[in-house]
């Protein structure tokens, strides 16, 4: 294949499975349509977007977070008149074609699942600050608590980076704050929490319930198997590639937007908690 049939999928993410699942969907559709989909992971290479565009010479681009919200990168791409599709953007929703899943509602739904099981003291492991989806997931979590007129103890909010190591390291801080449940905002960090719990002699879900986000393969093979949000990453990659190829074949085609559904997948990492848990403040009595 020549450069004329080459699409570049851009990442800046240390989540290997997140990358590979999006790539799988995009490559499958691209190959069937006669296009090659290559990848560039800025997290590994350290190359800047201007350097990538000059050296790789793609015909079009698929952008994943945080590139999909990088206004500098978008301006450089637009200056070169390259078609692009953004996956999971949080800013400028009408800029270019987009593929989204409602991160806010998904995070709210998985937190509601814990609340329905009786949990009130729910810890949260944030994703990296550079990924705006991390804020959307946190906001969904906080909104679900607000629906029960609760606000979280700040001691139960820790800053991760989507890596298993960060989940493992920050779990110790959460354990000291005595949660009955933890929402790790991706599956890799959730598995890190499981590993830290094993070392500390804490049973999941016997002592602390746990949920994740993404439904990567590890969610099915870890012990206990992880209750999580299923994000259809392959479908997102496929949809993004389809929108981009349609634009390449018809440059006059207007921007298009696709939304894919999420699903709560229940497995073995959540236990029902009887009664209310102390240590939370009601919004009606809290200083606002």
Give the residue range(s) of CATH 3.40.50.2300 domains in the chain.
3-101+231-261, 103-230+266-276
CATH classification for the domain delimited by 103-230+266-276, as one of 1.10.240.10, 3.40.50.2300, 1.10.8.590, 2.30.33.40: 3.40.50.2300
Q: What is the pLDDT of residue 19?
A: 83
Using DSSP's 3-state secondary structure scheme, residue 34 falls into coil
31 φ, ψ to 5°? -60, -40
Q: What is the pLDDT of residue 282?
A: 35
Residue pLDDT, tens place only, 253-269: 999 999 999 999 999 99
Class of CATH domain 3-101+231-261: alpha beta
Residue pLDDT, tens place only, 52-64: 888 888 999 999 9
- Prediction pTM value: 0.86
Tokens matching residue 271: 């236990």
| Residues pairing with 211 in the sheet | 183, 227
pLDDT at residue 47 is higher than 90? no
Helix axes 103-116, 132-147, angle to 10 degrees: 40
Q: What is the pLDDT of residue 286?
A: 33
């Amino acid at each position: 294949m020549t450069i004329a049939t080459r699409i570049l999928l851009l990442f800046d993410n240390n989540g290997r499975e997140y990358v590979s699942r999006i790539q799988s969907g995009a490559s499958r559709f691209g190959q069937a349509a006669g296009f090659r989909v290559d990848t560039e992971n800025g997290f590994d290479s350290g190359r800047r977007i201007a350097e990538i565009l000059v050296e790789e010479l793609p015909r079009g681009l698929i952008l994943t977070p945080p590139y999909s919200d990088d206004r500098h990168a978008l301006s450089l791409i637009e200056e070169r008149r390259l078609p692009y599709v953004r996956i999971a953007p949080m800013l400028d929703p009408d800029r270019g074609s987009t593929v989204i899943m409602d991160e806010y509602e998904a995070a709210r739904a998985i937190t509601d699942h814990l609340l329905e099981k009786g949990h009130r003291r729910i810890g949260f492991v944030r994703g990296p600050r550079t990924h705006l989806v991390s804020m959307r997931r946190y906001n969904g979590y906080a909104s679900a608590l607000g629906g029960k007129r609760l606000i979280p103890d700040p001691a139960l909010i820790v800053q991760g980076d989507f890596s298993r190591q960060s989940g493992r390291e920050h779990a110790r801080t959460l354990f000291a704050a005595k949660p009955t449940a933890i929402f790790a905002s991706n599956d890799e960090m959730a598995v890190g929490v499981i590993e830290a719990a094993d070392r500390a002699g804490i049973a999941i879900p016997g002592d602390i319930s746990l949920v994740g986000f993404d439904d990567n393969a590890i969610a099915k093979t870890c012990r206990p198997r992880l209750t999580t949000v299923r994000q259809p990453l392959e479908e997102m990659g496929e949809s993004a590639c389809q929108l981009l190829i349609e634009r390449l074949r018809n440059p006059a085609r207007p921007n298009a937007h696709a939304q894919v559904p999420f699903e709560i997948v229940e497995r073995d990492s959540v236990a029902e908690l009887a009664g209310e848990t102390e240590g939370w403040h009601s919004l009606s009595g809290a200083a606002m």
